[in-house]
Amino acid sequence: MGIIETLIVTTFLAGVAGTGLGGLVGAMLQKDSNRTVSLLLSFAGGVMLSVVCFDLVTEAIETEVGVWTVVGAIAIGVAVTYFLNYLIDRKTNPEVPHIDANHPKTADDLDELIHSDHLEQHYARKDSKLGLFVAGIVMASAIALHNVPEGMTIGASYASNDGVMGRAALVLAVLIGLHNIPEGMAVSVPLISGGMPKWKAVLVTASTGIPTILGALLGYLLGEIGPMGLTMSLGFASGAMLYVVFGEILPQSILMYHSKLPAFSTIIGILAGMLIIF
């Protein structure tokens, strides 16, 4: 199996299969546990921080393009991801009744993070097919903003290891797959509640993982251009992941489960990531 085929299979399992499995669990249970989701997300966030800070950023610096180029690429990744999230939030938040002036300035549940609550509102209002389609596109775009940089980290890691499945790429693939399970649950439950058949909801949910594959291919192809391309790919993906972890996953996990446990779960994730890398 060639490099591209291996990369596609790896990210298919992490993105499509992981999200689809979450959709299947959501279809069977039609509920989720805030405590379980919170601890799973915070642990995954901790491991991702270890991989980004101790592996991906280090590899970007070792390209010897220049540390300021690495800093700039990370800053661009943070800024682009934040700006696109801001645009989606600005469009959807006014349409969700419980998101008002008293609501936290970040998502406090997974359905808010991926905007499935926005789609649920359109289902509840029995909106037109066009309205439902637009709401679905918005939700898919919100998920893509998380999945594309996640895939890019895997692809860039492949490129930095000359197309070999390194430990960082393997860890990221596994963690992204685990992270996508609760995300898939948050997608399928409102679809089913809105009247969509379970089998169709699971298929739609699984399809939201496709951007992970596209991100992996983009990260790998950029990394193959040369040292500058590899630096930009590693830096941009790292910046996007840092924003997703610090700006969304960790605040959300704490708001979902008011306890010290998410903090400890994050620390355990960081330590686990260090052990795996080193």
pLDDT digits (tens, 9 = 90+) for 42-74: 888 898 898 889 888 998 998 888 899 999 999
The pLDDT assigned to 68 comes to 94
101 Cβ neighbours under 8 A, 6+ residues apart:
none
Percent with pLDDT over 90 in the chain: 19
Concatenating the DSSP letter of every residue in 159-203 gives HHTTT---HHHHHHHHHHHHHHHHHHHHHHHHHHHTT--HHHHHH
42 Cβ neighbours under 8 A, 6+ residues apart:
249, 250, 253, 254, 262, 263, 265, 266, 269
CA-wise closest residue to 63 among 232, 253, 190 = 232
The amino acid occupying position 25 is V
Q: What are phi and psi of 114, to 5 degrees?
A: -105, 5
Q: Position of tokens 């800024």? A: 79
pLDDT digits (tens, 9 = 90+) for 142-183: 877 878 888 888 888 788 776 666 666 777 788 788 778 877
> Distance (Å, rounded) from C-alpha 85 to C-alpha 36?
25
The pLDDT assigned to 129 comes to 75
Average pLDDT for residues 226-234, to the nearest whole number?
89
- Supply the mean pLDDT for the chain: 84
In terms of phi and psi (left: phi > 0; alpha: psi -120 to 50; beta: otherwise), the region of 162 is left
Average pLDDT for residues 32-39, to the nearest whole number?
78
How far is CA 55 from each of CA 26, 139, 264, 276, rounded to the nearest angstrom? 34, 31, 22, 11
pTM comes to 0.84
The pLDDT assigned to 182 comes to 77
Q: Position of tokens 């950023």? A: 57
The pLDDT assigned to 28 comes to 83
Among 222-226, 230-234, 249-253, the least confident range: 222-226
> Distance (Å, rounded) from C-alpha 189 to C-alpha 129?
19
Q: Give me 218's structure tokens.
A: 């983009």
pLDDT digits (tens, 9 = 90+) for 245-278: 999 889 988 988 888 999 999 999 999 888 877 7
Which has more confidence, 134 or 216?
216
CB 24 within 8 A of CB 200: no
